[in-house]
């Protein structure tokens, strides 16, 4: 293979509880392998210590599989891109150390990636034999995951500004924490989504926050949901079981309303109608439907990524690595991961 002509980026993602590796060739996806970690399920949340150990176990087999599935060899890789942050420090250290070892062994450059920036750039992953209709700049991205709820103004591939964000919990946390109160497994978001399909979204009303500008708040909703259940359970101990679908549908509707209120405001005030969504919560079917409705109502051009690219994955890391490679943005061997990291980095 001719290294002069082809840019092959190996992407490594290990920020939370998914170990993932991907190969992208000239912007086209060749492989995207993701190993989840079941070990956290019985704890009702990610246990950082266990996550880093599982990454340590998974990283070599996952990279090996990604390279094999891509039909290339390690010698073909042009550069290695890794998630530097934000995330769990112990988890990030595994990916960072692997990237350093690989970079040294192969004599190729290393590219640091901001995980949040990568979520936004997941929209630019190209797949062979698949339609490609990426957003045009500037666009707004509603980034909603287990750790973030932000509205990002994207001026260019590597030029982004956060114009609104949560002041407390993330939308994914609201799903997961309320799901836990109802006795649903972790992470609860997908279970709420599934049950909500059989429930009445107007059955119950929960408190919506009053927050300035384009910012979000979800901790009040969690408390309101908890007190509501506590009161109802005093009257009927089977309340949750009997009304689970209605509870899920009403909770989901409230979260979606909160997210969309600010997104609509941001679109109006910036005059931007090119809208995208990213992060784990963007897998929510109710949110996807509501966004499509808003797109018709407000004449937005809406971009919703494939499920595989919404949750944590290394394809988005490799894709962002591709753009940084084109700009010659490399990092040295003294790179350390960051638990917190601004999207501009
Ligand atoms: O981006 P992501 O994979 O990773 C982290 O933020 O770490 O997002 C995970 C979050 C979890 O809170 C999960 O409950 C939520 O995304 N999630 C969903 C759905 N699928 C995943 N929330 C609502 N509906 C879904 N279908």
Q: Do domains 8-131+309-326 and 139-305 have the same CATH topology?
A: yes
- Distance from the alpha carbon of residue 146 to the mean position of ligand 1, in angstroms: 5
- Range 8-131+309-326 has CATH code 1.10.10.10: no
Please tell me the distance from the alpha carbon of residue 118 to that of residue 166, in angstroms, as a whole number.
19
Phi first, then psi, for residue 178 (nearest 5°) are -70, -35
Query: Which pLDDT tens digit goes with each residue over 34-93?
Result: 999 888 888 878 899 999 999 999 999 999 999 999 999 999 999 999 999 999 999 999
Please tell me the distance from the alpha carbon of residue 235 to that of residue 225, in angstroms, as a whole number.
16
- Determine the atom of ligand 1 nearest the C-alpha atom of 148: 6
Are the beta carbons of 106 and 10 closer than 8 angstroms?
A: no
pLDDT of residue 228: 97
Spatial neighbors of 337 by CB under 8 A, at least 6 apart, are: 83, 84, 85, 87, 89, 92, 93, 95, 96
- Determine the atom of ligand 1 nearest the C-alpha atom of 119: 1
- Range 139-305 has CATH code 3.30.420.40: yes
Please tell me the distance from the alpha carbon of residue 155 to that of residue 78, in angstroms, as a whole number.
27
* Domain edges within the chain: 8-131+309-326, 139-305
- Distance from the alpha carbon of residue 285 to the mean position of ligand 1, in angstroms: 12
Nearest CA to ligand 1 atom 13: 189
Are the beta carbons of 85 and 114 closer than 8 angstroms?
A: yes
- Distance from the alpha carbon of residue 147 to the mean position of ligand 1, in angstroms: 9
User: What is the value of pTM for the model shown?
Assistant: 0.94
Query: Which pLDDT tens digit goes with each residue over 166-206?
Result: 999 999 999 999 999 999 998 999 999 999 999 999 999 99
pLDDT of residue 1: 46
CA distances from 238 to 138, 179, 204 (A): 50, 16, 17
Nearest CA to ligand 1 atom 20: 190
Q: What is the CA radius of gyration of the chain?
A: 21
Are the beta carbons of 186 and 41 closer than 8 angstroms?
A: yes
Q: Report whether pLDDT(3) > 70.
A: no
Average pLDDT over residues 207-231: 95
């Amino acid at each position: 293979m001719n290294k002069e002509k082809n840019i092959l980026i190996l992407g490594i993602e290990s920020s939370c509880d998914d170990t993932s590796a991907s190969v992208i060739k000239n912007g086209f996806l060749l492989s995207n392998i993701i190993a989840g970690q079941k070990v956290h399920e019985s704890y009702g949340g990610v246990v950082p210590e266990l996550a880093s150990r599982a990454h340590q176990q998974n990283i070599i087999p996952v990279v090996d599989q990604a390279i094999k599935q891509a039909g290339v060899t390690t010698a073909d890789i042009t550069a290695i891109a890794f998630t530097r942050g934000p995330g769990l420090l112990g988890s990030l250290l595994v990916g960072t150390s692997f990237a350093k070892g690989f970079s040294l062994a192969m004599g190729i450059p290393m590219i640091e990636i901001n995980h949040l920036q990568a979520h936004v750039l997941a929209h630019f992953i190209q797949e062979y034999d698949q339609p490609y209709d990426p957003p045009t700049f500037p666009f707004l991205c509603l980034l909603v995951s287990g750790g973030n709820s932000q509205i990002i103004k994207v001026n260019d591939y590597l030029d982004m500004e956060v114009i609104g964000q949560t002041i407390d919990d993330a939308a994914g946390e609201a799903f997961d924490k309320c799901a836990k109160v109802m006795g649903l497994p972790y992470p609860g978001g997908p279970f709420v989504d599934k049950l909500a399909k059989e429930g009445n979204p107007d059955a119950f009303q929960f408190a919506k926050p009053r927050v300035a500008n384009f910012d979000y708040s979800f901790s009040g909703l969690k408390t309101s949901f908890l007190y509501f259940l506590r009161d109802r359970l005093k009257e009927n101990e089977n309340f949750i079981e009997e009304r689970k679908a209605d509870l899920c549908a009403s909770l989901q509707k409230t979260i979606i309303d909160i997210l969309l209120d600010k997104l609509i405001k941001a679109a109006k005030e910036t005059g931007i109608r090119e809208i995208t969504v990213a992060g784990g919560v963007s897998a929510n079917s109710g949110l996807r439907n509501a966004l499509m409705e808003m797109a018709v109502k407000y004449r937005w051009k809406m971009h919703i990524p494939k499920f595989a690219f919404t949750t944590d994955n290394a394809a988005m890391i490799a894709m962002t690595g591709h753009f940084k490679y084109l700009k010659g943005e490399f990092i040295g061997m003294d790179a350390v991961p960051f638990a917190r990291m601004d999207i501009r980095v």
